[in-house]
Amino acid sequence: MRRFVRLLFVVVLPALLFAQDFWVDLERLKDEISERGKQMEYVYGLTDDIGHRLTGSPGAEKAENAVVDWLKALGLENVRKEPFRMEARWSRGTASAQIMSPVSRALTVASYTWTPSTPGTGVQGHLVDGGTGKPEDIAAVKSRMRGAIVLVAPAGVTLDEVIGNFYRTPLYVEECAKAGALAVLIASDKERTLLYTAPVSFNAKISPVAALAIAREDVELLRRLLNRPAKPGSTSDVRIRVAVKNTVDSPFLANNVFGEIQGSEKSEEVILLGAHLDSNDLGPGALDNAAGCAALLETARAIKALGLQPKRTIRFVFFMGEEEGMIGSTEYVKRHLAEMDNFVTNITMDIGAGRPLGWFSMGRTDLDPEIRAFMESQLYHPDSVMIVNAAFAATDNAAFMAAGVPNLVLLQDDASYFPVHHTAADTPDKIVLEDFTACVTTVAMTAYLIASQEERFGRRLTQSEIEDMMNASKIEYQWRAANIWPLQ
């Protein structure tokens, strides 16, 4: 009783909405995860045991089966796979690039995913500097691109800039291809020759021309050579040879995987916990996004281990095809669009394992009072105080946002995330257990709280409200580029 009285004065408004037992259960849930959590075991299973999980790869299939087995072993209900179509299966082969003149030097490169092979034994051409890849940079050198290798170095390190580059890449690669370029070299934004790769085009469409990541140190070398004054009797041209051999196969079916903890009173209302199961293929994807998947699995384990029973159904969904443009989650929403009125909220974790800082509300200011109320509980991590209303389409919440469902994306310290994002260095040793555990408990407590409170969290937006939010946040371009909008 003393514990309840203490919580009553600390939490104030939220505590008035729940019985004493609820706050005891919430504290038990936090303790269970902190003291007996298996979140790192799930991370190791997905990364050390399986490895990369590029959609359509053997690792992806193993991961789908592993999650099915874990969910069944935990005693969840309605565990199953739900297939969706991918336009092409892709697997990495070899990629190389060399400076042919004015010096001879091998370059550090890796093929972007869903990039085709180069013809024959490779292509060779003069180097053209495409700047940052912005429309004006490409337009300035387009006349020199026929028969060329184009170098692009996207600028920016913030989340908004990274997302902007993500959506700009398919456009400038296509513009270069139409202008007659033979290949595109895209500067990695990582240090110490780490290579960042991603799909060139959305929806698993094959790129119109070979695109390769190139180490930033080599970018500086190439630009020094381009800017070097020509010696008498020589040319200032820099010539590059690129050779890529990848495997492209026919369309196939990938699978989202999900299971449920059924609600005791309002089982038709669903709190969806989502994370993407697929990864890029240079590394095992520990932060992106084995960490998010492990958070879902540990949430399910802890709730079942304590015998807790939420009022509403908690559905755990592991999406495939996120790295190719949120394909699995978009197909999930379109397939279940008629049921969206029953979806109370979508909770997503996909920014690594850094400590929780609060929540993105994805263009919704009306949710702020409710979010702030449960964040003010002393059970939450003390740094979890921020609400960011910005909207973006860069993870599996995007289609739910377009359907008007309230969205919560965990806002995290990303200091450990972006330096290794989509690289070979995205490995489990980058996870600080204390910070990661704080993320897991935040996700678990929030899901259980929303599933158990008497009043429904938020509300679904009307079509006109969705369009108003879309226009205000300027997200329509992202939704259309990723084939999210219009939802049909």
Contact 173, 153 (CB under 8 A): no
Which amino acid is present at 265?
E
CA distance 336 to 469: 22
CA–CA separation, 185 vs 121, rounded Å? 18
**What's residue 232's pLDDT?**
67
Contact 273, 296 (CB under 8 A): yes
Q: In this structure, are 119 and 245 located in the same domain?
A: yes
**Do 376 and 333 share a structural domain?**
yes
Q: Domain for residue 1, yes or no? A: no
Do 69 and 130 sit in the same domain of this protein? Answer: no
Residue 222 lies in a domain: yes
Per-residue confidence (pLDDT) for residue 151, from 0 to 100: 98
Residues 203 and 290 occupy one common structural domain: no
pLDDT of 215 over the 50 cut = yes
Q: Between 159 and 243, whose confidence is greater?
A: 243
Q: What's the first-to-final CA gap in the chain, in angstroms? A: 52
Query: What mean pLDDT is predicted for residues 188-199?
Result: 95
What residues does 314 pair with on adjacent strands?
A: 261, 271
Determine contact, residues 293/249, Cβ cutoff 8 Å: no
Considering only CA atoms, which of 8, 11, 29 is closest in space to residue 451? 29
What residue spans of 213-347 are helical by DSSP H?
A: 216-227, 291-305, 327-335
**What would the two tokens of residue 5 be?**
């009285």
pLDDT of 13: 42
**Of 196, 231, 249, which closes a domain?**
249
Write the CB contacts of 34 (distance below 8 Å, at least 6 apart in sequence).
437, 441
Looking at the structure, tell me whether residues 140 and 277 fall in a common domain: no
Answer yes or no: are the C-beta atoms of 289 and 60 closer than 8 Å. Answer: no
> How many domains does one find in the chain?
2
Name the phi and psi angles at 459, rounded to 5. Answer: -160, 160
Q: Which range among 82-91, 153-162, 237-246 shows the weakest confidence by mean pLDDT?
A: 153-162
Alpha helix ranges (H) inside 181-285: 216-227
Q: Is residue 487 part of a domain?
A: no
Q: Let me know whether 38 and 74 are in one domain.
A: yes
What pLDDT is attached to residue 4? Answer: 37
Contacts of 369 (CB under 8 A, 6+ apart): none
Contact 210, 116 (CB under 8 A): yes
pLDDT at 8 over 70: no
pLDDT at position 234 = 57
Tokens standing for residue 114: 């869903």
pTM of the entire predicted model: 0.94
- CATH value at residue 196: 3.50.30.30
| Rounded Cα distance, 67 and 319, in Å | 11
Which tens digits make up the pLDDT trace of 281-307? 999 999 999 999 999 999 999 999 999
Please answer whether residues 129 and 223 qualify as being in contact, where contact means their C-beta atoms are separated by less than 8 angstroms: yes
Do 284 and 195 lie in one domain? The reply is no
Q: Say how far apart CA 23 and CA 404 lie, in whole Å.
A: 30
How confident is the model at residue 12, as a pLDDT? Answer: 41
In a shared domain, residues 228 and 266: no
End residue of a domain, out of 217, 249, 281? 249
Measured on CA atoms in the order 313, 398, 341, 68, is the torsion positive or negative?
Answer: negative
Q: Contact 113/90 with Cβ under 8 angstroms?
A: yes
Furthest-apart CA atoms within the chain: distance in Å? 91
207 and 74 co-located in one domain = no
If asked whether residues 244 and 316 sit together in one domain, one would say no
Lowest-confidence pick of 157-171, 316-330, 452-466: 157-171
What radius of gyration, in Å, describes the C-alpha atoms of the chain? 24
Q: What is the DSSP letter of 239?
A: E
Residue 403 shares a structural domain with residue 317: yes
Q: How high is the mean pLDDT of the chain?
A: 94
What band does 235 get if pLDDT is binned at 50, 70 and 90? low
> Buried b vs exposed e over 54-88: b needs ≥16 C-beta within 10 Å?
bbbbebbbbbbebbbebbeebebeebebbebebbb
Going by pLDDT thresholds of 50, 70 and 90, the confidence category of residue 160 is confident
Among the three residues 191, 216, 249, which one is the final residue of a domain in this structure?
249
Query: At residue 17, does pLDDT exceed 60?
Result: no
Q: Which domain holds residue 227?
A: 94-249
DSSP state of 225: H
Are 154 and 215 in the same domain?
Answer: yes
What φ, ψ does residue 249 adopt, rounded to 5°?
Answer: -120, 180
CB-CB contact of 274 with 319 (8 Å)? yes
Residue 3: inside a domain, yes or no?
no
Please answer whether residues 452 and 22 qualify as being in contact, where contact means their C-beta atoms are separated by less than 8 angstroms: yes
Q: pLDDT at position 449, please?
A: 96
Secondary structure class of 274 (helix, strand, coil): strand
